[in-house]
Chain A
Amino acid sequence: GAVVSQHPSWVICKSGTSVKIECRSLDFQATTMFWYRQFPKQSLMLMATSNEGSKATYEQGVEKDKFLINHASLTLSTLTVTSAHPEDSSFYICSATRQGAWEAFFGQGTRLTVV
């Protein structure tokens, strides 16, 4: 089956630094990938839609200058949390859908802790 790989699994960083999270589709090409965030005991919230070769589409309330998304190839999307603050601590997870299909495959998620 399709596999989406996300790295790192967890990261602890200092306040003010930037963190890059990678999301790769391992056995299929994904023209669209999605980035979600999940706070404790909350639902997954869509942050942005990452489109290969074009700008990402951000959901309302998500700062595009803070959460930089790059989808430079059909198998890789990256999310960079810039100038991270403790309130950015969360579980970040990506998903991708094979073209023409509906099932979303999720990466393993990245638990970010900003201290």
Chain B
Amino acid sequence: RKEVEQDPGPFNVPEGATVAFNCTYSNSASQSFFWYRQDCRKEPKLLMSVYSSGNEDGRFTAQLNRASQYISLLIRDSKLSDSATYLCVVNPGGGADGLTFGKGTHLIIQP
């Protein structure tokens, strides 16, 4: 079983729509969870961290379900500029451990 698993997509979504995708992780002892965004041929950039209580940042909402070991990202009122690959990222041990990345979910917002 892969450590961090995501549906690669692509998800083709009309502008203004709401889109959600999930990610599952295998290491139940994982400490920290994040969503990163990666544009084509660019470095990943932190979108938001994910907390058990759920957290919201503008149009983006992230949720963590430790019991089922999955993380979700919801994007409301999608914009053309949201087109990117969204990476589910897990820090298995916390602290200065290397991050474990999912393959990413490719999102395409269509006008």
Contacts and interface: CB of A to CB of B under 8 A. Distances in A.
Contacts, number: 51
Nearest to B102: A43
Contacts of A34: 98-99
Contact of A46 (B45, B49, B100): B100
Interface of B: 4, 8, 32, 41-46, 49, 87, 91, 94-96, 98-104
Interface in A22-44: 31-32, 34, 36, 41-44
A102 B104 contact: no
Contact of B99 (A6, A31, A46, A107): A46
Interface centre among A34, A41, A43, A104 (most CB of B within 10 A): A43
* Interface size of A as a range: 20 to 34
Interface of A: 6, 31-32, 34, 36, 41-46, 49, 59, 91, 93, 95, 97, 102-104, 106-109, 111
Given A32-B96, A103-B46, A111 B104 contact: no
A106 B98 contact: no
Nearest to B3: A43
Given A106-B45, A107-B43, A42 B103 contact: yes
